[in-house]
């Protein structure tokens, strides 16, 4: 059963769904909204936007990863952009919008809180830092950033992640 938790920023609307019990996601939604808003503001997105986030566990994200990417394992975060954007060149005129609200539909992200907590422990930092990092990472994917190679695209994405995480005061 999907549960829906809804949050609105002045400019950026973040809709959060979950397959987890409410007590497992307590406190996470506010962190996610702040991370998404900070990333969009840092990237210069001034238009009204909408982002969907599903919070789930390893089993469910594994199913989605297999179905959508043909990768047979769980992962920490999946990003599903609605538009084909170019990093650092956000153009609202090329984006899909919701006709009812006029908001730009940036896309969806799926985050495994189970994987997030395990990675936080492995990396020796807080679950708060990890969940915010995954949200920032996913927002950058929604805005056209990629890191498929070890070249300049990955370096560019990492610079932006580091700058946004510094604004959130959640550095490494």
Q: 6-42: per-residue pLDDT in tens?
A: 444 468 999 998 888 888 887 899 999 999 999 999 9
Is it the case that residue 156 has pLDDT exceeding 60? yes
What is the rounded average pLDDT of the residues 54-59? Answer: 96
CA-nearest of 8, 25, 21 to 117 is 25
- pTM, full prediction: 0.90
Lay out the sheet containing 49-56: strands in order across. 3-8, 12-18, 49-56, 104-112, 77-81
What percentage of the chain carries pLDDT values higher than 90?
80
Domain boundaries, the chain: 3-167
State residue 152's pLDDT score: 86
Q: Please give the full DSSP string across 98-129, using - where no structure is assigned.
A: -TTT--EEEEEEEEEHHHHHHHHHHHTS-HHH
Taking a C-beta distance cutoff of 8 angstroms, is the pair 170, 161 a contact? Answer: no
Taking a C-beta distance cutoff of 8 angstroms, is the pair 134, 77 a contact? Answer: yes
CA-nearest of 110, 90, 111, 92 to 44 is 90
CATH fold, domain 3-167, is Collagenase (Catalytic Domain) (3.40.390)
What is the rounded average pLDDT of the residues 99-125? Answer: 96
What is the rounded average pLDDT of the residues 82-107? Answer: 95
What is the rounded average pLDDT of the residues 103-125? Answer: 96
Cα separation, 149 vs 165, whole angstroms: 22
């Amino acid at each position: 059963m999907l549960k829906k938790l809804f949050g609105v920023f002045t400019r950026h609307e973040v809709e959060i769904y979950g397959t987890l019990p409410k007590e497992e996601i307590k406190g996470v939604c506010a962190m996610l909204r702040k991370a998404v808003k900070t990333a969009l503001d840092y990237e210069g997105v001034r238009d009204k936007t909408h982002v969907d986030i599903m919070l789930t566990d390893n089993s469910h994200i594994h199913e989605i990863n297999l179905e959508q990417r043909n990768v047979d394992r769980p992962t920490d975060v999946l990003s599903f952009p609605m538009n084909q954007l170019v990093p650092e060149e956000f153009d609202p005129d090329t984006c899909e919008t919701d006709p009812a609200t006029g908001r730009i539909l940036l896309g969806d992200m799926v985050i495994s809180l189970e994987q997030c907590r395990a990675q936080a422990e492995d990396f020796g930092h807080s679950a708060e830092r990890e969940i915010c990092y995954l949200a920032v990472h996913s927002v950058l994917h929604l805005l056209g950033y990629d890191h498929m190679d070890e070249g300049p695209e990955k370096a560019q994405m990492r610079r932006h992640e580091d700058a946004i995480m510094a604004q959130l005061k959640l550095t490494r």
